[in-house]
Structure 1
């Protein structure tokens, strides 16, 4: 049978006609001129001119948020940890008992010292009464002066023995206090370094606590850049939420790290700026000193894809309108002034402020 004269089944005919119509529409779109499609769909992207502008000589470094009040509580007595009342993240109050070390020995010492004090007090009462009676008998001439001197010496010795017993009692109470770790201030538990049942020893860390306020940014400045940090006219801290804030002050440690060859700077933050910031978070610190001209572009013009940093450059006058992607090497971030361009761009060239839209087909500069 001739296939050319064989009619299509109804379902196959509808499928064939639909596919033919879709092909015709798609073919018409693909055959349309490229400039016509660009005119129809190409977005208008605002641009900015790359220019040399006066910016401060800046040093941008990584820093870490730290609590100004932070303490690592260590055991002062030997023994097994029998109670650990807190865990990491718990809020604590000043004076709150956080951990207890086995205190049976120290408790016995306190009881023994208390008994010694009671005995010394009884002996003192007896000695003072004997001295008083001897004094009365001496006044009546019934005893010698030597007997009175001996009675008064015995009373003085009893008073000294009582003082010694009380000192021993205070020492025993102090030793018992070493078996209890208490919070030195209001704050939170940052970490626990031991668990209930572990053996505690003098100097072994058990807990670390910190106060949520005040906070500071700690930055380690390379010794080679220390002079620039010293003459910085402005110091700024970039918080995790992107805000640039000025610290309440700045202080530099008077010595450099002999291994890393860095100098530690501490920048306390204003309480209002530090809301929501946590110790341990990474921040940026910028030391700005003096002024110099640098080629800068707005931060929004940069396109970052992995290790690639690029900008979309508008075509020069006389060339077909559009953008060309160009890799650049960036330098310091100067905040509102823009980001420094070290290579890949020339002054006067225009860059797209929205690199995502500039990469669309048919995109053209808005001005």
Structure 2
């Protein structure tokens, strides 16, 4: 069989000019390649309909429903036990033993102020106590001798009264000296800042070598537990918040809403911002691993009596978020005679209610959406 009988003239013309032997060899190899392709292509091909069916995904039909009035505000986490430690004595900061982020134990010395003056005061007070005790011993001995002489009639009663007065004055002197010693010890204790509880150092406001003054903040420490969410509710929304059926807090970095263990409000509005402060104490399990300062969402869900007009809502689990895109998988027909499938549809969401998230655009009543968007995105997924 010649090469020209196998290939059209146009294909033969594509082979570049070369020697007759090499040209015939190239055309023969090309012929064998096409023949092999034809043989392979003649084999059976698995049709798509022959593949195993895809996963079944539960769906729900959307319908407008009445939802309670919901108020969602931004709040922040705050440690219940947090203190700013200040100096109670003036002097140079001799030692600052911790820095921001260090863990501390209750009673641990955090900073020491130069205490040479207070040490001298303690030594002076101790010397005063020793002197007062010596005067007391002398006055007591004099009183005892005068008492014996008076009993024998060698001294007048006035001498005994004078000795007794000196003895009692010496006792008062000892008491005063001991009080001075206690005062000097307390003053020396003011030069040492200790941790009030087990916790963490949040910030340091001074450095070693700086001058500390009474009342000047040096350190801020806090205890990791308990922790609370703090939110400032506008005074105009205070009635709705007060009559809310439940209050929920969204933990940072999660989609989980939790109920506070306890809650309280400050019984006064801020005169400048016209807001009322709500303090929502988190449970130990919910507050574990949380740090003060992180932003949270606080949701006040109203009762049925405060219901708003009917809204179209979808479960939060049905939403698929990819960057700036928010969408849901909607049941669609693939074609006549074919099973139903899913199509991703972008939606615009609104407020989050207790029963779901309000959909402002992209869906209508009667649409069926997948409750598991991850499985709905798989190949050949079908509604259950």
Fold match, TM over 0.5? yes
Unaligned runs of 5+ in 1: 22-35
More divergent stretch after superposition (100-109 vs 274-283): 274-283
Which residue number in structure 1 is paired with residue 314 of structure 2? 297
Q: Which residue of 2 aligns with 1:83?
A: 95
Q: Corresponding residue for 2:222? A: 210
User: Who is 2:363 aligned against?
Assistant: 345
- 1:109 pairs with 2:121: yes
How big is the shift at 1:341?
2.1
Q: 1:166 — aligned with what?
A: 178
CA distance in 1, matches of 2:270, 2:83: 22
Residues 311 and 325 of structure 1 are in contact (CA less than 8 Å); yes or no, is this contact kept in structure 2? yes
Q: Describe the SS at the equivalent of 2:214.
A: coil
Q: Is the 8 A contact 1:323 1:364 kept in 2?
A: no
Q: Could you tell me how far apart the structure 2 residues matched to 1:317 and 1:305 are?
A: 25
Give per-residue Cα distances to partners, 1:72-109, cap 9 Å, x unaligned.
Answer: 11111111111122222322222111110000000000
Alpha-carbon distance in structure 2 between the residues aligned to 1:99 and 1:182: 7
- Partners of 2:16 and 2:138 in 1: how far apart? 140
SS in 2 for 1:171: helix
Of 112-121 and 147-156, deviating more is 147-156
Match of 1:265 among 265, 278, 294: 278
Cα distance in 1, alignment partners of residues 322 and 99 from structure 2: 42
209, 233, 256: which is aligned to 2:269? 256
Equivalent residue for 2:203? 191
Counterpart in 2 of 1:332?
Answer: 352
Q: State how 1:269-284 maps to structure 2 within 5 Å.
A: 269-284=282-297
In the alignment, which residue of structure 1 is the partner of 2:43?
none
In 2 relative to 1, CA 132–324 (structure 1 residues): closer, same or farther, beyond 3 Å? closer
Q: Which has the larger radius of gyration?
A: 2
Give how far 1:309 is off.
4.4
Let me know the Cα RMSD of the aligned residues: 3.8
Secondary structure of 1:61's counterpart equals strand
How many Å separate the matches in 1 of 2:79 and 2:89?
28
Scaled by the length of structure 1, what TM-score is found?
0.80
Q: Secondary structure at the match of 1:115?
A: helix
Deviation at 1:344, TM superposition (A): 4.8
The corresponding residue for 2:112 is 100
- Provide the residue aligned with 1:6 in structure 2: 17
Indicate if the aligned counterparts of 1:192 and 1:207 stay in contact, CA closer than 8 A. Answer: yes
SS at match of 1:94: coil
Q: How does 1:145-184 map to 2 (within 5 A)?
A: 145-184=157-196
Q: Deviations over 1:104-139 (max 9, x none)?
A: 000000101111111111111111211221121112
CA distances 1:303-331 after superposition (whole Å, capped 9, x unpaired): 54665545565569999987474542412
Q: Which residue of 2 aligns with 1:27?
A: none
How far apart are the structure 2 equivalents of 1:97 and 1:128?
44
Aligned pair partner of 2:61 in 29, 41, 49 = 49
Q: Which moved more, 1:271-280 or 1:302-311?
A: 302-311
Report 1:313-332 matches (<5 A).
323=343, 325-332=345-352
Go from structure 1 to structure 2 and tell me whether the alpha carbon gap of 1:327 and 1:213 turns closer, same or farther (over 3 Å shift).
closer
- After superposition, give the CA deviation of every residue in 1:269-307 in whole Å (9 maximum; x if it has no partner): 221332222333322222222023432012244354665
